[in-house]
Structure 1
Amino acid sequence: MVVEYFVCEKPNFLYEVPIFKTVVNGIKNCIRNDIPLLSKKFKWIDTIEESKDSECFDIYLFSFSPIYRVLFLFFSLLSIGTFGYFYCLCLPYIFLNIDVMQDIVKAISRRRKQLFLMACFILSLLLIYAVLSFAIMSSFFDPGENNQFCTTLWQCYITVIREGLLDGFGAISVTYVGQNGANFKIYLWRAVFDLIFFVVISTISLEVITAILVDTFSELRQEKDTAEKDQKSVCFVCGIDNDDFERRGKGFAKHYHSDHNIYSYIYFILHIKSMSPHDHNAIEKYVSDKFGNDEIEFYPLHKAKVLGGLVLKKKDMKGMIDEMLVNT
């Protein structure tokens, strides 16, 4: 499976690291627009090429899909040669092509910046709580029975992250290690401390992350529903509504799959691009020139042979009807 994937997708691979190229292009644009003096001094910056649209479906060699397939092969060989436990790392391969999993990955990748910033914000708040705990509340940490370490600030930070995020009701549980029994004043300060932690971290911050993901899933579902509705109601090639074909033609399904089959247009474009320009006939040369200049006049926009040629847009038809009513 891994060999087949790389053989089939070999023409589409880009030997680039997308995140590095994005960072470099961002720095370049920033220097160009905001600091023109540096751009003049360091002229080599202009030699960095911008990302351009490719004529084929691009796959970054260092993206998730190729790298995981390499790891899949590596873990499989390790399982055969050493321990079978590595087979468990191959299980995600089953779910790579499932639509639900792809939507989850797409939602996380689309909001990765917001999620990363929110995670950094939560970690910074936890650091504040760790500093306060280390400075004035280290005696409440029980390294014996509860494994709550706070000898150093690093230990206190890890303990607050684990206890706070897993428990959710406070930085640590209320204990009286090194104290002379229960004390209401101490309990009162701990109640305020833990209540703020619960509201800020557990309730607001973590729920914001959930809201970001839920909103993204809703957005993806809406985009998918809109695309499916558009595919079922409008011809992708000519842009004519299915109602016109149902009333005046031979049905929208026949038109969509036969008259204006999108793959027929794709194959024709690929056929033209694979030929030498000297071998083009008149029609092929016309389409090749238009396609090379990013012009779309060769597509039958609002035209269909089965409907007798030109079909007016709804707004144009409404204007014509209004004009006829005025004249009468």
Structure 2
Amino acid sequence: MQLAHQLTSPFPSPTDKARALFTWLHHNIAYNTVAFYSGNLQASTPASTLASGLAVCEGYASLFTALAMHAGLESMVVSGHGKGYGFTALKPGDPIPPFDSGHAWNAVKIDGGEWKLVDSCWGAGHVTGHGLPYVKHFAPQHFTRDNDEFGLSHYPADQDRFYRTDGRYKISWEEYILGPGKGVGGPTIFTGCDTEHGIGERTFLPAMNKIDVRGPSRMLRFQFSSICEHWDNERHGKGKPYLFVLKIGGVDGRNDDLLPFETDGRVWWCDVNSRELGAPGQTLDICNLTNFNGRDGRGLTAKEFKEEQKSSWAWGCVAEWMLM
């Protein structure tokens, strides 16, 4: 296929070839929302997807594999369950649902000869609901995240297709469906955590979504870290990192305050007594200061925040817990 050659020939690395295909799919294929919501999904081929410019997950995955193989890469389509649109966490006492295979993604052999899991459908954009438009939004984390993190939101029908790196061959369906992923199990992670800030979604501690503030007082450490040890937000991301703060409610939720995170450039941490977090029913947020005293919040240090008089500030939310 000439298209595969045109897209990948400038790149000698298998990883960069695969990345070029992943990126091209975002720019050139849109999700077929009409067919998806009408239930009128027809079987597609790579040729028909190219001709129409429309696909659902299997169409994205099939075209990715076809292009990859024409570019000399080893690739396959993997089908299974995805914690995407329509997925909701189980409530306490809900039974474990039977396995359902309604999604598709890819495994591709890249540098080092390792099978890497990628999802070009989720990387291209997302649906927003029946009768609502498809949002074309590039999400490179669905190419860059490691296979173990990928497996938090993808469960293959073929048990040989986990390709985990933590030494485990596979995990059970029950462990997957009850585990973290799309806000399940850990704090709620807001969009842009990795792309805007270079923060790994799995790195947030405490690793639960609710924090008990009714028991005896205790010191809690809130912590998160960058997506990899080599990440430098100024070099690889969108500029100097923002100052991150923990937005707390104070004793009984009556005294709001912002506590700055300390950092060594790789890990961020903030220690606080549980009694200071707020009252049951309130939320506890990690925020990034986008503006402080009328200036851009990028590059602001915890020391500057503590020493300067605080006249005005603005923030965006990164992660959130519920207090109980």
- TM class, shorter-length: under 0.3
TM-score relative to the length of structure 1:
0.20
The one of the two structures with greater contact order (alpha-carbon pairs below 8 A, sep at least 6) is: 2
The structure having more radius of gyration, on CA atoms, is 1
Greater helix percent: which structure?
Answer: 1
